[in-house]
Amino acid sequence: MPIYRPTVAEISRSALCANLAAVRHHARGADVLAVVKADAYGHGVEIVSRIFQSRVRGFGVATVEEGINLRRLGVKKPVLILGTLWPFSSFAVAARAGLTPTISSISGLKGLEETARLTGKFLPFYLKIDTGMGRIGIRYDMASALLEAAASSRRTVCSGIYSHFASADFDPVYTRLQYERFSSIKHAAARFPRLARADFSMSNSAGIFFSPRAGFDLVRPGIALYGLQPSAVATRKLDVAPALAWKSRIVFLKKIPRGSSVSYAQRFIARRESLIATVPVGYADGYRVGLSCVAPALVRGRVVRVAGRVTMDMTMFDVTAIPGVCVGDEVVLIGRQDDRRITAERLAALLGTINYEITCGISARVPRVEVA
């Protein structure tokens, strides 16, 4: 579809590939399953999956719907559904699309076995072990019965066994404990020939970079692939580069006298004669109301700030101090312009949230455009 509004998210192919290379370097030979849930963390799953298709072992998604969408986009690689499937009738949908479900319980395994019987297919799955994340997965100290059931199933095959680090970016003691718990699971699984051949996977982005010895057979990078930091409290920064730049352009300029207000609720009052630029981006695009009056952007290589409240479709910026500013000038909301940069982390700090929420929150009406 043609783009008529000058508000886009540019996705850098070179940054994505460089980030994947950094992941591989730290993964020390482990295969890569690229996590592309939530529209590739807001970066556009169509672009990201196309770039990574020939470069990774497979993809990770959160839901059956996301997996089906990957198949519609032509993805042939294995696709792991990282969330729990419920109701069990969704196993049949996943099977038809060639998706690999996560199993966390005896009842879930029985549901998959019944689906295999009804469809006449031999279905793969991954076992999820909870070593301390507390989200999904059977607890590590209660997993023996599930391991035995998985090993004895004749209609399904356990392709992988995985867990998830909770604090690998800042708590090495807890991370070590989780690693030891998962290592004990791997040792227990070795008693069963059918499980010993499964891929073992522990590391998310933080685990890959901060605990490389925990890579096992397969790593599951998410946020690192997109060049974002796993948390604001990480012990050090990952050597990755942001792949997303969010840009728009000035579509209207207006001089206002001292004392005039801008936008709803009169939160911005001009302290001098001011030049106000209107930019076609708003909270319906994911540029949140909490950024009102505080968020920086870049125009002509200089920092400007939101003037007044962010509205649904438009946001105003005070560009009084920018010489020569005119309609059509580029406005960088996230990304680099000249020698300055606005990061997703910076906007997240202003909102009291995390960078994941910033990029995931960029709405679908902002086109994702692949650039070099």
User: What are the catalytic residues?
Assistant: 37, 264
Task: Pick the closest to residue 98 from 64, 57, 47, 62 (CA basis).
Answer: 64
Burial class (CB in 10 A: 0-12, 13-18, 19+), 98: middle
- The token pair that represents 180 in the structure block: 């030891």
DSSP 90-103: HHHHHHHTTPEEEE
| Run of H or E including 182 | helix 172-189
d(CA 59, CA 42): 16
The residue among 172, 28, 170, 156 whose CA lies nearest residue 94 is: 156
**Dihedral (Cα; 37, 42, 43, 44), 10-degree rounding:** 70
What is the spatial distance between Cα 340 and Cα 106, in angstroms, rounded to a whole number? 54
Check if the beta carbon of residue 194 is closer than 8 Å to that of residue 147.
no
Measured between alpha carbons, how far is 216 from 214 in angstroms, rounded to an integer? Answer: 6
Spatial separation of the C-alpha atoms in residues 18 and 35, rounded to whole Å: 16
Distance, CA of 296 to CA of 31 (rounded, Å): 39
Helices (H) and strands (E) in the chain, counts: 12, 21
Classified as helix, coil or strand, 353 is: coil
* Distance, CA of 304 to CA of 295 (rounded, Å): 8
Pairing, β 123-130 against β 138-139? parallel
